[in-house]
Amino acid sequence: MRIKGFILKFIGIVLFVFILTKIDLKSFFGLLKNINLYYFIAAALLTLPILFIKAYRWNYLKKTQNINYRLSDSILMYGSGIYIGLLTPGRIGDFIKVLYLKNDGNSAGKSSVSVVVDRLADLLFLIMFGYIGMFFFIQLFERQIYLFSFIFIMLLSIVIFTVAKKELAKRLIRKIFWFFIPSKYKEKIKINFNDFYNDLKVLNRKRIFKVSLITVLVWIIYFIQIFLLANALSISISFVYLSICAAIAGLITLIPISISGIGTRDITLIVLFSFLGINRESAVAISMLILFISILMALIGLACWLKKPARFSKAI
């Protein structure tokens, strides 16, 4: 499985190399050379509030379970998870946050609730916003819109049915729960699913609404960050259009055939930008800056990890 996963990730690298053979490299490097540093630095600085707000959301979720940490500690743990997530395959970055909580005496099931819900919040927003964004490119994504609409209706029907049947709901949640636990740890760590399921019940409508608002705020700041990167490259594009492109590109990068979206994000932006007459070089350039921002976030995460590393020995 590891070899297969590596090969799949390698597809993105191959795709990126192929893209480089199809663009004007002189023009591409010219864009990067003439970057507006004021916009670029402003975009880079937004990495900090994004990390802060995400950590605040996770801290809030923990508090609903009576798992109380200082916000500063949550920031360090969250940043460490981002750092480990960039270095390792699968969902190890999310699992690291579970380790922190488990090392402090919480059961693995209880520790997993805030981590899973935090992850789902971003994932659901990306799927919903990306799906809506596809309607702006209906001539390109017509088949995908039909497919996603069908899947959405089916999933909604399943959710409604399982909510009505508590035992089925528990089974569905159990599958989601195990999805977020890396396969290499599933047999090594003793996880009480009942702890997870019972603590999940503390998420009432009011709390879910607050988590949703925080999630929207995080993504708005992220879209502003991408817009600043576009301005740094003197790319003329509206904020709404660029946000939609970023969301769709984010959806595509969920396909496990690349490392940090290398290749897949580039080709997606090339196609979407072409509808506005924006050249390939600009699309690849902004994709490179997005990758740089991801690396910057990981470096901040490294600092968090050095400040507060997780203790693996107590978790396994």
Confidence (pLDDT) at 1? 46
Confidence (pLDDT) at 295? 92
The Cα–Cα gap between 308 and 314 comes to: 15
CB 235 within 8 A of CB 286: yes
**pLDDT by position in tens, the chain (length 316):** 455 555 666 788 888 999 999 999 999 999 999 999 999 999 999 999 999 999 999 999 999 989 999 999 999 999 999 988 877 655 566 778 888 998 888 877 788 888 888 988 998 898 888 878 777 777 666 676 667 677 667 666 655 555 455 555 556 555 665 555 555 555 544 455 566 666 677 778 888 899 999 999 999 999 999 999 999 999 999 999 999 999 988 888 877 777 778 888 999 999 999 888 999 999 999 999 999 999 999 999 999 999 998 876 544 4
Non-local CB neighbours of 311 within 8 Å, separated by 6+ positions: 99, 103
The Cα–Cα gap between 275 and 140 comes to: 10
Cα dihedral: 78, 83, 86, 89 (round 10):
-70
CB 71 within 8 A of CB 208: no
Cβ count near 302 (within 10 Å): 17
Residue with token string 């395959």: 89
Confidence (pLDDT) at 167? 54
Confidence (pLDDT) at 3? 59
For the chain, the C-alpha Rg in angstroms (whole number) is 20
CB 218 within 8 A of CB 48: no
Cβ count near 213 (within 10 Å): 11
